[in-house]
Amino acid sequence: MKDRMFSTIGLWTIVGLIIWIGGLFSVAEQAAFGLLAVLVCAAQYEFYQLVKKMDGARRPDTSGIVAGFIFLFALFFFGNVRMQANVYTSAAAIFMGVHLISLLKNPTQTPGLLKKFPTLYGFMYIPFMLSALVAIARMESGVLLNRHSDGLYYVVWVFVATKFTDVGGLLIGVPFGKHKIAPTISPAKSWEGCVGGLFFSALASAGFAWLCRNHLGATEFMLPLRAALLALPLAALSVPSDLVESVFKRQAGEKDSGKTIPGIGGALDLIDSLVLTAPVALILLSYCLEWAKRAE
């Protein structure tokens, strides 16, 4: 618990410094993209290492990591905002999200798609789903946001809404959790912890919106109450998103995806809960901000 707390504080400090120092040199978005790209590539590598330990699965090709980076790079520097938002309302994202959640029904059974196409599966599971964060960061002035740099603050808001669910789960679920959600997948997760996670996610999101009231288009759209309400579906989805990674780890016979972050594990352990929340956050922000813009 102590290692996890110090790691969490340290990671948020790093994110804050990257945005602050990057802002001084007008490269905050580029620096944040670099950090995200490193995390995604590391998480994809760790996932491929897990796949190699699964029974019946083919060995993934690390070229999938290169493809994932190129995909994120292209979206960040050349992608069109409206096109990116439409991608995540397409059948591909819906199929992948539903498919991942369906794995919770049979956690001991490795999906056939993963066995036959591990490289493509890893690409779809991590860089494709998490590229929604890149799309949010690149929301352009005159399209969805009033200021070009606001997109980065929305990305941080997604992290806050998602990761503070874990904080609530630890603070409430550990001491008070009695009713387990999925004891065969993740014995530590409880319904009490989920309720606490929803509360802390909403509270932290509202606090973040208030602190960043000069950004986020706060005076027009992202008021603290709206930030809290929009955080609730993300907080709820972060739980199955985290459980999906636990399924993969159990199939590989591993407790953590890596050992680079004390108390947390690897890069995949850090960002696993964002896999399902990132695309949903993009859809919510795209439509809600468009609605707010038309209402002006």
Confidence of residue 2 (pLDDT cuts 50, 70, 90): low
Amino acid at 25: F
CA dihedral for 81, 85, 88, 91, sign (positive or negative): negative
The strand pairing partners of 145, in sequence order, are 141
| Percent above pLDDT 90 for the chain | 46
Residue 23: the pLDDT is: 67
* Tens digits of residue pLDDT in 219-242: 456 788 988 999 999 999 999 999
Predicted confidence at residue 250, as pLDDT, reads: 93
The reported pLDDT for the residue numbered 11 is 73
Question: What does the block give as tokens for 110?
Answer: 């490795």
> What DSSP designation does 108 have?
T
Average pLDDT on 260-288 reads 88
pLDDT at site 98: 93
CA distance 191 to 172: 10
Neighbouring residues of 197: CB distance < 8 A, sequence distance ≥ 6: 164, 165, 166, 167, 168, 169, 172, 173, 235, 238, 239
Closest CA to 149 of 296, 31, 39, 274: 31
Looking at residue 141, its pLDDT comes to 41
User: Reduced to 3 states, what is the DSSP secondary structure of residue 180?
Assistant: strand
Output the average pLDDT for the chain.
83
Which of 145-149, 165-169, 177-181 has the weakest average pLDDT?
145-149
Q: Report pLDDT for 239.
A: 94
* Domain that includes residue 80, residue range: 2-295
Q: Is the pLDDT of residue 194 over 80?
A: yes
C-alpha 83 chain-centroid distance: 20
Once rounded to an integer, what is the mean pLDDT over residues 52-69?
A: 93
Q: How many domains does the chain have?
A: 1
Taking only the tens place, the pLDDT of each residue in 98-129 is: 999 999 999 989 999 999 999 999 999 999 99
Q: What is the pLDDT of residue 285?
A: 84
pLDDT band at 78 (very low <50, low <70, confident <90, very high): confident
Q: How far apart are CA 79 and CA 124, in angstroms?
A: 18
Each residue of 202-219: pLDDT tens digit? 999 999 988 887 655 544
What pLDDT score was predicted for residue 142?
40
Q: Report the percentage of the chain scoring pLDDT > 70.
A: 83
Start-to-end CA distance of the chain, whole Å, equals: 47
How open is the CA angle 6-175-172, to the nearest 5 degrees? 70
pTM: 0.88
- pLDDT of 143 reads 42
Q: Any residues with CB less than 8 A from the CB of 270 and at least 6 apart, and which?
A: 11, 39, 43, 261, 264
For 53-65, what is the mean pLDDT?
A: 92
